[in-house]
Structure 1
Amino acid sequence: MDLDARTLAVSGGQRARRGFWLGVLLPAVMALAAVGFGVPAFAAAGSLPAPPCATGAASDAAAFADPPKARIWHSRDLGDWRPPACFGWPPMDLNLVTALSGTFAFDGGGDELLARFGAASDWKGIRYWSASDRRWETFITDSTALEGFEHQQRRPDFTLAELKSGTDFYFLRADNRSSKPVVYRMQVAEAGPDRLVVKIGNVSPITALVFTLFDSGDIQSTYFLEKIGPGRWGYYALTVMHEGAMVIGNQDESYLTRTIAIFRHLAGIPTDQEPPLVP
């Protein structure tokens, strides 16, 4: 079985058992390693996700919003919506979709921003506003580049030449909520001086205690960064999730506060800068 097949294949029996336990445990286990803004940033159900590569669609989190906006859609909001082909991932059933759209000041080019994706070690220590604890906390407790999926040896950060080679890259990341570090795969779909498209998805499962919350391939994200004017870049992150998201309930804020942390890190903004953008 090739890597894509391993990433997407999941046992139906395991999902059924997990669904039961997730319904019992998730109120006590914070939602994990995904994405962030706060309640004021997203609106009631209506328009659908509209990444910058899509055409003919309107959204409350359309590219590129200024001031930044974020939005969550649950399965009941999505209907038969599916990400456009330019999202770049194989189709799957969706339980939750998040989008963050914004702009940021930056005088450099695409290479410098791509290097921020490749500098895996710099992600360690990213902070976020804990919506449940009402304080700043460390989000990413460990982060390192890996030699590969099969051989998970730590290695130095990815170089710019490597990132532009067209191959897949793997990195390990641990956060303050999940029980074990998670291996992610990163693909650089576009790497121009004025536009970047980067895809990141989980390869290993995401667990809390002894329970699997997201199987391999259950979280898929695509990041679009585009120069929109002198010293100004647009940012759009679209993430789709499967299975575990349908029992997350009211954990929307927990996902969204992590999104703003990632946005701030890539935009070169202190991740614990006041205000936290949550009520």
Structure 2
Amino acid sequence: MTLNPAHILAAVAVTFSLMSASSSASSGPRPPCGTSGAVPHIDYGPLNGPPKVEVWQNATLSLGATCPSNLNGSAELVIVLASRFVHAGTVQDLATRVGAVSVLKGLKYWSVTDQRWRVLISEAFAVDDTKTLQRRPDFTASEILSGKTLLMAQRDTRSTGLNYYALQTTSHNIDQLSVSIVNLTDIRFLFATLFKQRSLISAHFLTHLGGHEWGYYSLTVVKDAPMKGQEKSFINREAAYLRFVTGQRPEKEPPVAR
């Protein structure tokens, strides 16, 4: 793939931000839990530009009572992506995007291993309950905003079999939507366990910043993972979901991490 000069400069800028964040973000993540309106301590980066990225390893999180409690405690890896995007609709419209689980099928991400865009999710659907695991239509905005724990299944092209996740809105108001996603089953590749159940947790905060401008802040916490050195892969996977929720093209150049 050939990058034009603008893409090359952007890629260099992103790489520098990754290195800076890894070395200087000692204070830990500060997600906008339970807040609305402008959040001045978060650098979301340029509007519709590449997200700001922060990475911590072997961290212990204590985020306070307004954040989901399962984010707290020791973690092998913590990754934050923060970005600004344009959204002329409402929180309900964003909830509809989050609930459109089946649309995740075919979602692409930049593979650091293959150095190309490839499909991340080959199958995705909403699930009725843990007993029957029956497919059902995508979740409505009302279901997403209800705060109930909803179930979804995904087939990841880098793992074996279907993986089941819990999807839950942890808070919402007219200016913010906060969603948590947790793996309910072990994620495996052949006979190896990549992630134990409930060890892969992500929280996504969409906050109205004023006018048609919104901020997206994702916090991914890996509690237990035998695979080391996968930070760039996690970043690109989270970037793919960020672009899905914010209505951007998933395979947007340049990749966030190479």
Give the TM-score category using the shorter length.
0.7 to 0.9
Alignment match, 1:137: 118
1:163 is paired with a residue of what secondary structure? helix
Deviations 1:251-273 (A, max 9, x none): 21111111111111111001012
8 Å Cα contact 2:61/2:75 also seen in 1: no
Q: Distance in 2 between matches of 1:126 and 1:159?
A: 20
Q: Distance in 2 between matches of 1:198 and 1:83?
A: 16
Q: Distance in 1 between matches of 2:220 and 2:143?
A: 25
8 Å Cα contact 1:227/1:233 also seen in 2: yes
Q: Which has the higher contact order (CA 8 A, sep 6+)?
A: 1
8 Å Cα contact 2:61/2:73 also seen in 1: no
- Counterpart check, 1:266 vs 2:245: yes
8 Å Cα contact 1:63/1:234 also seen in 2: no
TM normalised by structure 2 equals 0.83
Which of 236, 241, 245 is the equivalent residue of 1:257? 236
**1:277–1:162: structure 2 CA closer, same or farther, 3 Å change rule?**
closer
**1:125–1:40: structure 2 CA closer, same or farther, 3 Å change rule?**
farther
Alignment match, 1:239: 220
* 2:56 alignment partner AA: W
TM normalised by structure 1 equals 0.77
Alignment match, 2:81: 100
- Counterpart check, 1:84 vs 2:64: yes
Deviations 1:20-78 (A, max 9, x none): xxxxxxxxxxxxxxxxxx644422323221112399xxxxxx63411321122100xx3
Which of 26, 44, 63 is the equivalent residue of 1:65? 44
- Counterpart check, 1:74 vs 2:57: yes
* Superposition misfits of 4+ residues, deviation over 3 angstroms: 38-41
Which of 15, 19, 24 is the equivalent residue of 1:46? 24
1:148 to partner: Cα distance: 1.1
- Structure 2 gap ranges (5+): 1-13, 36-40
Q: Distance in 2 between matches of 1:222 and 1:172?
A: 18
Q: Distance in 2 between matches of 1:241 and 1:180?
A: 20
Alignment match, 2:168: 187
Alignment match, 2:192: 211
1:150 to partner: Cα distance: 2.1
Which of 177, 182, 206 is the equivalent residue of 1:196? 177
1:98 to partner: Cα distance: 0.9
Alignment match, 2:99: 118
1:187 to partner: Cα distance: 0.9
- Counterpart check, 1:226 vs 2:207: yes
Aligned pair count?
Answer: 231
* 1:82 alignment partner AA: S
Q: Distance in 1 between matches of 2:238 and 2:143?
A: 26
1:277 is paired with a residue of what secondary structure? coil
Report % sequence identity: 32
Q: Distance in 2 between matches of 1:128 and 1:173?
A: 15
8 Å Cα contact 1:89/1:220 also seen in 2: no
